Structure formats: C-alpha cells, structure tokens
C-alpha cells in the first residue's frame, strides 16, 4: 500500500521536475549537448590513431559527463528538499501516513530515473556523433552509475539536512561537491596528485565513484572493483544514518 | 459519550520559552471545537501535539483512543489535517495532489472528483498549485484534509489572509463538514469566525487556557453588560431612564442617549419605559457584547494587539 504512495509520489515528482523552466533542459539536454560538442571539438584535430590513444576522450569524457550528471542530480535534490522544507511541503506530507523514508526514496528514485534517461540519451548521441567507437559495457556502466549516484545522493541528504535555508542549499552543496571532483582522479590520476591530497582523495567518496566508473567503462570485471562498491555502500550507510539523525522537517 | 479528543495537563517548551502549559480540555463527538487566541498564544503548538507532529514535554493526549506519539501512523489514517501556512509543490496539478493524497491512505479514499466539485474546484483540476488564489488553495487543503473520510478534521487558521467573501464561503464548508458527522477542531484568532462556527471554544493566552464554554455562555458569564443607544428630543427622558431598574449609567450628549445596564431584561425594560411614557425616539440600537469583548475582559487587551 505504501508502494502505491511511493510510486505516485515518484511519478508526480518527475512530472513536476520536468515542468520546471530549466528542469528537462538543464538536467538532460545540456549534459548531452556538452558531451557531443566536447567530443567533436576535441576529436577534430586528431588523427584516427591518436584519437584512439586519447584516453581522455574515450574514457575521461564519458566518466566526467556521468559524474557531472550525478552531481547535478545531488545538487537539485538538496535544493528541492530545502525548498520543500521552507515552504512547509515536507510538513504537510508528514501529516499523512506517509513515512519519512518514503518521501526521500521517491526523490532518489526520481533522480535516478532522470540520471538513467540522460545516460541513455548520451549513449544514443554518442553512437551517432561521437568520434570514438564506443565499446564499453553499457549495461554494467549504467549499474555502476546508479550505484555511484545513489551513494552521492546520500551525501546530498546530509547536506539537505544541515543547510539552513533554500537560498544556501545550492551554493553550499556545490562548495562541498565540486572540490571533491577535483581530487577524485577524474582529471588526473590520484597517484599523480601531491601526497598531501592523497589522504583527502582516499576519504572523498567521489574517488571511489570515479574509479568504479572508469574501470567498468574500460571493461574491468566487477570483481576488480568490489572495494569501490563497498566504499560507496559505506558512504551511503553512514550518510543515511547521520541524516536520519539530524534531518529537520521544518 | 467518550470524548474524541482528551488533552490533560500538556506542557511544551521550546528552549526556555514555554509555548503551552497545563493545557487541558476535551472535544466531544460531532462538535466544532475552537481554540481561540492571539498569534503566539500556543494554538498551533497545541494542535500539532494532538496531531502527533510534536511531542509534548509533559501531559497526556488521546485522540480516538489513540496516543498521537506512539500510534501516529494509525492516527493519521483516521484524521484529516490542514496546516497553517502549508504549501504544495508549485507545479503540482490540483487533480494530481488529490490523487496522490488518496493513494497515501490504507482505507479506500472517498471520491476526489466529487470533493473537488463540492468545493468548487472542478474547473481548476488541471491548474498548477502556484496559479491558485488564496481561497482556492485553502479549499484544496480542505479537500486533502477530507480525502480519507476522516473522523476528526483539524483546521489551523483556515481563513487567515482571505478576503471576507472567500472567508464566508469557507465557513459554510466547515459547517458542512460537521453535518457529515465529523468532529472539527479548529484554531482561529478571528472572534467572528469562532462565534459563527464553534459549538464550544477554549480561550488560550500565553500558553494557558483561560476559559472553555459555548460562545453565548462565555459572553453571558463574562460580559453581562448591555448597552442601548437611542435618540430622542424628549427632555424628560433622562430622568425616566435613570429610574429603570438595572440601569447603571445614562450618558447624554445632545439628543443621543447611551444607556448601560446588566441582564437580558434591560432591553425589554427600556422599551417598556419608552412606550409607557410615550417617548418618541428617532433611533434605537442595542449593542450586545461578543467574544471579542469577552477576550478583552479576560486578558485586558484586544486579540489583535
């Protein structure tokens, strides 16, 4: 019976999100466009052999795009939760038999569905326009991205639980998440970072997400990345438990 | 008959601020019970403790035989709630909100479309929440509060911020809710609203309940004064008015007289005096005290201050 409520709420949240002026455009169209344009511009000057060797285009860019989708999903979750809290929407929902977890789960599901949709579009666009032949295991990569997004979303809960007002939600979320991208090994391998940042990279959850996504994209077996999955699971459990403790409904 | 809501000696503090203290009352089956008082008196806190949204520091609450703290989900199945200053998602459509709410309850919801029709929202079923007027939003919140066919309906400051016309329309709707056999618990700082709607009211100030009764009983108990204003050119009138028993004061300015006294018989006595002495009057008004006067009498200030 609660599943009925969960499904309805997820579906309605998806529809509402797509009705936002920048909703569909910002989360789906822009990442796909950036992905295509970047691939064309960077790919143009390179000979086919050099192109294949350019690991940034063949591996880095898809992973970068994916991580950006995940991060923007988290930022939008943080913003939505704080707007809902400020507007009394969370409180109104709480005055029904709806369980708190159901409300949050609905938002996570909505975000995951959007992430999956964006990814699917990227793959389609990539097949058509991308300079490099894509031979990545797409199904595995989708699973890896969903696991990563789920885990990063839990960081979003924690931020959403703490930020005082909706106005600060987005900047605070960006302030916490974007530096994580910098040390996550996305632009440069973690080993090449200054030693002082190694320790930072090791505690930043995005590092594990990037390692998992890159590995699966390159065709590594899942068994090689169980450590990453475990780390992401730990992040999820810790952040969810913490935010359940500090979450404010109004 | 067992009361639907029992509140006894409830206390709730926020930090060092005491929001409500020693609050006790009972609400009977099928009545409209109003908690009235100025902003910040503790109305909403009291209501939210009863709804299970807040936990009192001390005291006991029972609603439909359930404990709002331990049985909150069971309770929420059986009550309908309208919160003060609540909002919905800006771009949710009216029918989507009704559909969502209907899906949240275990028992079968009542026909949402019919409710929308009864509350005059059927034309707006495809409108986004953000495009509704204040009165339409409140009517939608009433629909949502009724969607699970609740036994008790809670309405917090239902008509605050509405224009007089929408307010009157909402009052009729609330009376209808009672006609359906439901118990209504409402808060308001509008004395006219309480007088029009409530079978019984509790006056609350600074977190404490000052008195509870039917509105007319409160008026009779605390404000037995009656005032009559009349106009006459008759020069003998003042003497004769003073001679009427129960008249306490006669104030005369030009040809206008203000007669003050006590008790329901005062008006009859003045009319009798006028006819017996053939005093010709050009104006005759009675000013009866209302809940507003009761409030001023009990607290020493107006509810709006």
Contacts of B81 in chain A (CB under 8 A): 95-96
A92: nearest CB among B77, B88, B96 = B88
Pick the more confident residue, A105 or B215: B215
Q: SS3 sequence, A14-80?
A: HHHHHHCCCHHHHHHHHHHHHHHHHHHHHHHCCCHHHHHHCHHHHHHHHHHHHHHHHHHHHHHHHHH
Per residue in A194-229, pLDDT tens? 777 777 888 888 889 988 988 888 888 999 999 999
Enter the tokens of residue B168: 């009157």
Chain B residues whose CB is inside 8 A of the A87 CB are: 87
Q: Which domains does chain B have, with CATH numbers?
A: 5-219 (3.40.50.300), 224-288 (3.30.70.250)
Instruction: Report, as an integer, the average pLDDT of B137-158.
Output: 92
A24 in B contact zone (CB under 8 Å): no
* C-alpha span between B256 and B252 (Å, rounded): 6
Question: pLDDT tens digits, residue range B80-121?
Answer: 999 987 889 999 999 999 999 999 888 777 888 988 988 889
A76, A88, A95, A101: best to mutate for the B interface, most B CBs within 10 A = A95
Q: Does the pLDDT of residue B218 top 90, yes or no?
A: yes
Give A246's pLDDT tier (boundaries 50, 70, 90).
Answer: confident
Q: Which residue has 């975000």 as its token pair?
A: A111
User: Which structural domain range is residue A10 located in?
Assistant: 2-246
| Residue A116, pLDDT score | 81
pLDDT for B92 equals 95
Is the pLDDT reported for residue A68 higher than 90? no
| Number of C-beta neighbours around residue A106 at 10 A | 22
Backbone angles phi, psi at B225, to 5 degrees: -65, 140
Q: What is the edge-to-edge ordering of all strands in the sheet holding B247-253?
A: B247-253, B256-262, B225-232, B281-287
Confidence of residue A42 (pLDDT cuts 50, 70, 90): low
> ipTM more than 0.85?
no
Provide the pLDDT for residue A190.
73
Q: What is the pLDDT of residues A143-183, one digit of tens each?
A: 898 898 888 888 888 888 878 777 888 888 888 888 888 78
User: With pLDDT > 70 as the criterion, what percentage of chain B qualifies?
Assistant: 99
Residue in A1, A12, A17, A22 to test binding to B, most B beta-carbons within 10 Å: A12
Cα(A86)–Cα(A95) distance, integer angstroms: 16
A108 torsion bin: left (phi>0), alpha (psi -120 to 50), beta (else):
alpha
Grade residue B283 by pLDDT with cuts at 50, 70 and 90.
Answer: very high
The answer on pLDDT for A129 being more than 70 is no
A&B contacts, CB < 8 Å = 58
Residue scoring higher pLDDT (A189 or B144): B144
Provide the token pair at A111: 């975000």
Burial environment of residue A164 by CB neighbours within 10 A (0 to 12, 13 to 18, 19 or more): exposed
Inter-chain touch A96–B85, beta carbons under 8 Å = no
Confidence of residue B213 (pLDDT cuts 50, 70, 90): very high
Number of domains observed in the structure of chain A: 1
Mutation target to probe the A interface, by most A beta carbons within 10 A, among B63, B103, B153 is B103
- Residue from B50, B51, B38 nearest B206 by CA: B38
Give percent of chain A above pLDDT 70. Answer: 86
CA pair distance B22, A62, nearest whole angstrom: 64
What 3-state DSSP class applies to B268?
A: helix
What is the predicted pLDDT for the residue at B205?
92
So what's the pLDDT on residue B202?
96
Arithmetic mean of pLDDT over chain B: 91
Please report the pLDDT score of residue A47 as a whole number.
47
To the nearest 10 degrees (0 to 180), the angle between helices A61-86 and A30-44 is 160
Smallest Cα distance from B124 to chain A, Å: 17
- What digits encode the pLDDT tens for the residues B30-82? 999 999 998 889 999 999 999 999 999 999 999 999 999 899 989 999 999 99
Tokens of B163: 């224009």
| Adjacent-strand bridge partners of B232 | B281
pLDDT score at A53:
46
pTM of the predicted model as reported, rounded to 2 decimal places: 0.83
The answer to whether residue A92 neighbours chain B at the CB level (below 8 Å) is: yes
Output the pLDDT for position A43.
Answer: 60
Q: What is the pLDDT of residues A84-114, one digit of tens each?
A: 888 888 888 888 888 777 887 888 888 888 8
Residue B12 burial by Cβ neighbours in a 10 Å radius (0-12, 13-18, 19+): buried
Kindly report the nearest CA distance between residue B229 and chain A, in angstroms. 49
At residue A57, the pLDDT reads 60
Tell me what pLDDT residue A226 has: 93
Tokens standing for residue A83? 């707007």
């Amino acid at each position: 019976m609660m599943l009925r409520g969960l499904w309805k709420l997820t579906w309605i949240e998806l529809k509402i999100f797509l009705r936002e002026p920048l909703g569909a455009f910002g989360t789906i169209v822009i990442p796909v466009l950036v992905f295509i344009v970047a691939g064309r511009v960077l790919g143009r000057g390179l000979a086919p052999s050099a192109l294949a060797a350019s690991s940034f285009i063949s591996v880095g860019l898809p992973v970068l795009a994916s991580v950006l989708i995940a991060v923007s999903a988290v930022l939008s979750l943080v913003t939505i939760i704080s707007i809902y809290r400020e507007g009394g929407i969370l409180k109104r929902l709480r005055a029904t038999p709806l369980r708190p977890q159901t409300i949050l789960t609905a938002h996570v599901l909505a975000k995951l569905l959007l992430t999956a949709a964006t990814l699917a579009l990227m793959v389609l666009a990539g097949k058509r326009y991308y300079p490099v032949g894509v031979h990545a295991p797409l199904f595995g990569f989708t699973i890896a991205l969903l696991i990563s997004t789920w885990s990063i979303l839990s960081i979003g809960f924690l931020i959403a639980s703490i930020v005082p007002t909706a106005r600060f939600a987005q900047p605070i979320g960006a302030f916490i998440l974007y530096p994580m991208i910098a040390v996550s090994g996305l632009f440069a391998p973690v080993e090449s970072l200054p030693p002082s940042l190694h320790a930072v990279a090791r505690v930043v959850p995005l590092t594990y997400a990037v390692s998992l996504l890159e590995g699966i994209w390159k065709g590594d077996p899942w068994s090689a990345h169980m450590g990453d999955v475990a780390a992401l699971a730990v992040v999820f459990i810790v952040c969810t438990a913490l935010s359940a403790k500090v979450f404010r409904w109004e | 008959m067992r009361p639907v809501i029992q509140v006894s000696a409830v206390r709730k503090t926020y930090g060092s601020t005491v929001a409500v203290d020693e609050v006790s009352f009972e609400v009977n089956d099928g009545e409209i019970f109003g908690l009235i008082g100025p902003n910040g008196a503790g109305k909403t806190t009291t209501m939210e403790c009863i709804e299970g949204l807040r936990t009192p520091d001390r005291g006991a609450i029972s609603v439909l035989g359930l404990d709002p703290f331990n049985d909150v989900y069971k309770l929420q199945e059986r009550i309908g709630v309208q919160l003060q200053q609540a909002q919905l998602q800006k771009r949710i459509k009216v029918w989507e909100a009704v559909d969502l709410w209907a899906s949240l309850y275990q028992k079968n919801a009542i026909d949402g479309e019919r409710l929308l029709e009864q509350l005059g929202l059927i034309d707006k079923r495809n409108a986004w929440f953000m495009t509704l007027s204040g009165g339409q939003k409140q009517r939608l919140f009433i629909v949502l509060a009724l969607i699970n066919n609740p036994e008790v309906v809670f309405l917090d400051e239902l008509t605050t911020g509405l224009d007089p016309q929408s307010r009157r329309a909402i009052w009729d709707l609330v009376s209808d809710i009672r006609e359906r056999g439901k118990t209504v618990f409402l808060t308001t700082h509008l004395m006219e609203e309480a007088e029009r709607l409530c079978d019984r009211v509790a006056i609350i100030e600074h977190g404490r309940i000052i008195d509870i009764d039917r509105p007319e009983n409160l008026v009779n108990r605390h404000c037995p004064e009656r005032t009559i204003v009349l106009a006459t050119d008759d020069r003998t009138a003042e003497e004769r008015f003073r001679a009427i028993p129960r008249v306490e004061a006669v104030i005369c300015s030009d040809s206008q007289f203000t007669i003050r006294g006590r008790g329901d018989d005062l008006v009859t006595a003045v009319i009798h005096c006028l006819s017996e002495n053939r005093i010709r009057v050009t104006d005759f008004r009675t000013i009866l005290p209302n809940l507003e006067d009761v409030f001023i009498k009990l607290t020493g200030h107006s509810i709006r201050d």
